Amino acid sequence: MNTPVITDSGLAGAVAIVTGGSRGIGRAIVEILAAAGMNVTFTYRENAMAAAEVVAANPTGTLVAEALDVRDSAACSALVEKVAERAGRIDLLVNNAGMIRDNPLTALEDEDVRVVLETNVNGTFNMARAVAPFMVSQRRGKIINISSVSAEKGGRGQTNYAASKGAINAFTRALAVELAPRNITVNAVAPGVIETDMSHDVRARAGDLVLSRILLRRIGSPQDVAGAVWFLASRFADYITGEILHVDGGFKME
Ligand code: NDP
Mean pLDDT of 69-90: 98
In this predicted model, what pLDDT tens digit does every residue of 125-148 receive, in sequence order?
A: 999 999 999 999 999 999 999 999
Q: Look at ligand 1, atom 41, and give the residue with the nearest C-alpha.
A: 194
In this predicted model, what pLDDT tens digit does every residue of 50-59 receive, in sequence order?
A: 999 999 999 8
Task: Return the pLDDT at 254.
Answer: 83
Mean pLDDT of 61-65: 92
Mutation test residue for ligand 1: of 44, 118, 218, the one with most atoms within 8 Å of CB: 44
Task: Return the pLDDT at 59.
Answer: 82
Mean pLDDT of 17-22: 98
251 CA distance to ligand 1 middle (Å): 20
Q: Is ligand 1 within 6 A of the CB of residue 126? A: no
Q: How confident is the model at residue 195 (pLDDT cuts 50, 70, 90)?
A: very high
Mean pLDDT of 166-175: 98
Q: Is the pTM of this model over 0.85?
A: yes
Q: How confident is the model at residue 4 (pLDDT cuts 50, 70, 90)?
A: confident
Q: How confident is the model at residue 11 (pLDDT cuts 50, 70, 90)?
A: very high
Q: Is ligand 1 within 6 A of the CB of residue 95? A: no
Q: Is ligand 1 within 6 A of the CB of residue 249? A: no
Q: Is ligand 1 within 6 A of the CB of residue 27? A: no
Chain centroid, CA 147 distance in Å: 7
CB 84 within 8 A of CB 90: yes
Q: How confident is the model at residue 47 (pLDDT cuts 50, 70, 90)?
A: very high
Q: Which residues are catalytic?
A: 161
Cα–Cα dist 44/21, whole Å: 6
**Phi and psi at residue 156, to the nearest 5°:** -60, 135
Mutation test residue for ligand 1: of 23, 55, 152, 168, the one with most atoms within 8 Å of CB: 23
In this predicted model, what pLDDT tens digit does every residue of 24-33 receive, in sequence order?
A: 999 999 999 9
CB 119 within 8 A of CB 100: no
Is residue 2 scored above 90 in pLDDT? no
Q: Is ligand 1 within 6 A of the CB of residue 24? A: yes
Supply the mean pLDDT for the chain.
97
97 CA distance to ligand 1 middle (Å): 5
